[in-house]
Structure 1
Amino acid sequence: MPKFSEHFGLGKSQHELDFVDVSNEYDLPVYVDPYAIEIRDDIWAREAAGQVRVFFGEVLTALRDGDDHRAEGLMSHLKEPKETFLGVSKEGPKGRGVGRHQAHQLISAIKKSKAFQTGLLTDFSEMSLYVEGIDRDKMSDLTTNIIRDLLVNYTQEQCELYGIETLNYNGPPLWDARRGNWEARDVKLPYIDDDAVLLVPKYIVRRRLSLDSQEFYNKQITDFLVAENLRVNSALVQTIKGKRKVFKGDVRQANPKSKPYIADVVRDHPELLDLYKEIAAKQSVMLDFGDEGPNVTAVCQTLSDRLPNIPAGAKHASEYHSLVLGALTALFYPALILPQKEWDINQGRKRIDIVYTNAADSGFFSQRRGDPRVNANLVIVECKNYSEDITNQEIDQLVGRFDDDRGRLGILTCRTVDDSKRLLDRCKDAAVRGNGYVIVLTDDDLRSMLQARAQLNDGVVEQVLHSKFRQLLA
């Protein structure tokens, strides 16, 4: 049962990959989570969230206008996305269609929900809280279909990054948010045997939805009910050893969980949902894939051990580039995501440029994105497997890639530096002129960070980055 990475000989663990590493032989029990997309502030997630909002807005508008035919037509193009191999399909990893019948059921469930009838339902990610029959599988399927066009582009970018062939695929239609409708067209996807594969960024998947009706009921709602019963001194209050107490089991028995009941509670006490969503937003995006491969500590230690065994020079440039790409992903995910290859130049020395999306909400990369001098929406990486020192030409090449939209932060990796002061002066000159900020990471730097990550000491990783950046300002 080879995974995608094994089938295409990538030689990388899940922690070195930006996407979920799936097999076409079974579905992986993780789910695309619309709230995980909604709360992110990176470029890709904002576009995905926008597509979801437009789609759901079209559905709700049609229903409020009494145009059930339009609403069902929008929903009928949604199919279980067999190409992602995520979730738990009732028919194995081949998926099943939604079609008009299931679309009618979905629309009927939305219309019958108290949240829709009272105008409370406006957010797609909250459907699982209020609408009967909507669970993590259905929410994942719906979200995947709505953002399928973005996932196709993402898959193609990852295939270009790793040199994987893509072939024509006549799949389900794609949602066009600008036209507010579905568009049928062929796309290009990679194949494992006869199965097309649609890759999914791992930062938008969860083992369960961030917004889960049972969890919301068990925690925020139950705690609120306990406090309310104590406040009004209801019949559920018991005095035990001189202390007044309300048992959670008693309040749940008196107020059984149902989606209409959850809608009533949120209508009367919206602050409970605000609290729940605030807590959910703070949950880590570092999905633990459990037995799906070695953990991040083992991966980082392995990468640290492998790095010095790769010889410098053009002959081994591809091997070095591949290891650095995996190392940076393992070190900086989820701050840096969605690696994309810009171009190859092979004029004596092979050169590969990678652009990461800066999605950090704290730490070094978040500060660089928020700094108007840097504005690092993207982080541009160049890998140099040279046996001699970096020159002005390499610094100028990287700086030349900066602009106001991308930002002005780059990482240049190289094997070693003989004249560190001279190289630092070159980087400082670029910073002083306002051209941009280049952080140079040698083998020693990368190994230091990888070994720290292997010991779960992320503070060292941050220290290295901050120290390198401060040197540019000194």
Structure 2
Amino acid sequence: MTSIQKYYGITGPVPFENVTVDTDNLMFLDPHVIRLRGEPDHFAAEAVRCLDSFFDTVARAVMSTDPAARTHAESDLQRFTEPWETRLGMAETGFSGHGAASDIGTRIWEAMNTDLEALLHLGILKNIEELPLFVEGVDRDITSDITTRIVFGPLAAFTKQMLDHYPEFSTQPHQTAEFDRQVWDPDQHTWAIERVTLPVTDGKALLLVPRGWTRRNLLMSPTRFFETSLLSYVQGEQAVALSNGKILKTPKDRLKQQPTLQRGRKTHLQVALRAHAAGSNLLELFRTFVADRFDPPAELDAA
């Protein structure tokens, strides 16, 4: 396995993920990491703008009665082609492992129009990185693939900056090439075709990813949500006040044995709606929990 730096002979620290170029890497593009990077990271800020524009477009269509808007949004969700340019993820469990890209989009569209519609109307579900908490079959690999396609434009712009900064990418025998790629236009709220310049490794385009944007597990993973915010909320729900003023809480391992708290998206949805009815926003609590523990890597900029 050959890393980008080894393949191109680039030495020293680099501001991009130094993944291997000849195989998939077990790292995943995490949309919530990108969000928490935000300003002053220009590329992260633009990527977040794409993510929010896309999600808002689909969410508004779900809550709309306009047939044209609904048809357009469903079509937008069915245009996630395999993003092999980054070398991220796992090919056997990416789009190719879950059926066609259109099937993934249809699954998300159907979930947002049924089980998740209440969360949208209540303003609980706000970001694309929260879909894995409630949609079966959408986890780190699918989330990474979807995110890559939505933020392809900012990633291509970052790659172009790296090409300008590191001449090794275009020094013989290495070369770059122009490609027509689908990108999300956050201003027009639609997909567009953009010509981008990318490095070519062994005849295949390479898209560079800013260092620190990937993880082995999502920050907002279903498991983390269940183990932390959800079970903590239920502990409070079922807490008993003793005569001496102390509060008795059921241990989390015992909560997991309750039939109504089986691990899974159905439980996530039920508890989130129940919490909202009681005046608590479970997703907001989880967002705060994750943000408080986020420790971004230092020195992400190019030297």
TM over 0.5: yes
Q: TM-score, normalised by structure 1?
A: 0.54
AA aligned to 1:283 is F
In the alignment, which residue of structure 1 is the partner of 2:196?
Answer: 187
Aligned length: 280
Amino acid at match of 1:111: N
Once the two structures are superposed, the pairs formed by residues 120-159 of structure 1 within 5 Å of their partners are 120-159=124-163
**Counterpart position of 1:2:** 2
- What is the letter of the counterpart of residue 4 of structure 2? F
Give a deviation string over 1:148-193, Cα, whole Å, max 9, x none: 0110111111122110225334353111111211112332100111
Note the 1:15-54 alignment, pairs <5 A. Answer: 16-40=13-37, 41-42=39-40, 43-54=42-53
2:85 is paired with a residue whose SS is coil
**Match 1:82 to one of 59, 81, 84:** 84
Q: 1:57 maps to what in 2? A: 56
2:300 maps to 1:337:
yes
Matches within 5 A, 1:420-439: none
> For residues 75 and 194 of structure 1, do their structure 2 counterparts lie closer, same or farther at Cα, with a shift above 3 Å needed?
same
- CA-CA distance at 1:63 after TM superposition: 2.1
CA, structure 1 residues 232+171, in 2 after alignment: closer, same or farther (shift >3 Å)?
Answer: farther
For residues 98 and 165 of structure 2, the distance between their equivalents in structure 1, rounded to whole angstroms, comes to 31
Alpha carbons 1:80, 1:98 under 8 Å: kept: no
The equivalent of 1:108 in structure 2 is 110
**Aligned counterpart, 2:267:** 261
User: Structure 1 CA distance, aligned partners of 2:133 and 2:300?
Assistant: 29
| Residue type of the alignment partner of 1:156 | K
Please name the residue that 1:216 is paired with: 225
Residue of structure 2 equivalent to 1:418 = none
In structure 2, what is the Cα distance between the partners aligned to 1:264 and 1:48? 31
1:183–1:54: structure 2 CA closer, same or farther, 3 Å change rule?
same
Stretch moving more, 95-104 or 162-171: 95-104
Aligned pairs for 1:58-457 within 5 A: 58-66=57-65, 67=67, 68-90=70-92, 98-114=100-116, 116=118, 119=121, 120-163=124-167, 164-165=169-170, 166-231=175-240, 246-254=250-258, 255-267=261-273, 268-269=275-276, 270-281=280-291, 282-286=293-297, 334=298, 336-339=299-302
Is the contact made by 2:24 and 2:90 (CA closer than 8 Å) also made in structure 1? yes
Q: CA deviation at 1:272?
A: 4.0
User: Deviations for 1:197-222, whole angstroms, at most 9, x for unmatched residues?
Assistant: 10001222122111112211112222
- Percent identity between the aligned chains? 25
Q: SS at 1:54's partner residue?
A: helix
- Partners in 2 of 1:118 and 1:276 — Cα distance? 17
Contact 1:81/1:95, CA 8 A, preserved across alignment: no
Report SS of the residue matched to 2:50.
helix
* C-alpha distance in 2 between matches for 1:283 and 1:209: 12
Query: Aligned equivalents of 1:130 and 1:92: distance in 2?
Result: 18
* Letter in structure 1 aligned against 2:190: N
Are 2:200 and 2:206, in contact at CA under 8 Å, matched by a contact in 1?
A: yes
In structure 2, do the counterparts of structure 1 residues 232 and 129 end up closer, same or farther at CA, with 3 Å as the change threshold? farther
Most deviating of 201-210 and 252-261:
252-261
What is the CA–CA distance in structure 2 between the aligned matches of 1:2 and 1:93, rounded to whole Å? 24
Aligned residues of 1:78 and 1:97 also touching (Cα < 8 A)? no
Select between 121-130 and 89-98 the one with higher mean Cα deviation: 89-98
Bigger-Rg structure (1/2)? 1
Which residue identity is paired with 1:88?
M
Going from structure 1 to structure 2, the CA distance change for 1:155 and 1:253 (only over 3 Å counts) comes to same
Three-state SS of the structure 2 residue aligned to 1:174 is strand
Amino acid of the residue matched to residue 261 of structure 1? T
Normalization by structure 2: what TM-score? 0.82
Q: 1:224 to 1:102 in 2, by over 3 A?
A: closer
Could you list the per-position Cα deviations for residues 299-356 of structure 1 after superposition, in whole angstroms to 9, with x for gaps in the alignment?
xxxxxxxxxxxxxxxxxxxxxxxxxxxxxxxxxxx2x4332xxxxxxxxxxxxxx6xx
SS of the residue corresponding to residue 338 of structure 1 reads: coil
Is this contact kept in 2: 1:27–1:93, CA < 8 A?
Answer: no
For residues 93 and 217 of structure 1, the distance between their equivalents in structure 2, rounded to whole angstroms, comes to 25
Q: Does structure 1 retain, via aligned residues, the 8 Å contact 2:21–2:201?
A: yes
SS at match of 2:229: helix
Q: State the alpha-carbon separation in 2 of the partners of residues 95 and 174 from structure 1.
A: 23
3-state SS of the aligned residue for 1:62? helix
Counterpart AA for 2:76: L
How many angstroms apart in 2 are the aligned matches of 1:273 and 1:180?
26
State how far apart, in whole Å, the 2-side matches of 1:192 and 1:108 are: 38
| Aligned partner of residue 202 in structure 1, secondary structure | coil
Q: CA contact under 8 A between 2:63 and 2:117: conserved in structure 1?
A: no
Separation in 2, partners of 1:265, 1:192: 48
Q: Distance in 2 between matches of 1:31 and 1:206?
A: 5
